[in-house]
Amino acid sequence: MDNEALENLWFANRYRNLSPVAEEQLRLASHAYSDSAKAEMHLALAKAISPENPVVHIGEYRYYFYKGRLEEALKVAESCLVIVAKELGLPTQWQQVTPNHANFTSDEAANRFYLFCLKAYAYLLLRLEKIELGWAATEKLLQLDKNNQVGGQVLLDVLLRKDTDDYDD
The pLDDT tens digits of the residues spanning 146-166 come to 999 888 888 888 877 766 555
pTM of the model: 0.84
**Confidence band (pLDDT; 50, 70, 90) for 167?**
very low
8: three-class secondary structure by DSSP: helix
Domain ranges, residue 135: 3-17+53-167
Q: Does the residue 79 lie in any domain?
A: yes
pLDDT of residue 104 exceeding 60, the answer is yes
C-alpha 87/C-alpha 2 separation (Å) is: 23
Q: Does the residue 161 lie in any domain?
A: yes
Q: pLDDT by residue (tens digit) across 33-87?
A: 999 999 999 999 999 999 988 889 999 999 999 999 999 999 999 999 999 999 8
* Number of domains the chain contains: 1
Q: Does the residue 39 lie in any domain?
A: no
C-alpha distances (whole Å) from 61 to each of 54, 64, 75, 78, 119 are 10, 5, 9, 10, 13
* Torsion (CA) 124, 125, 126, 128 in degrees, nearest 10: 80
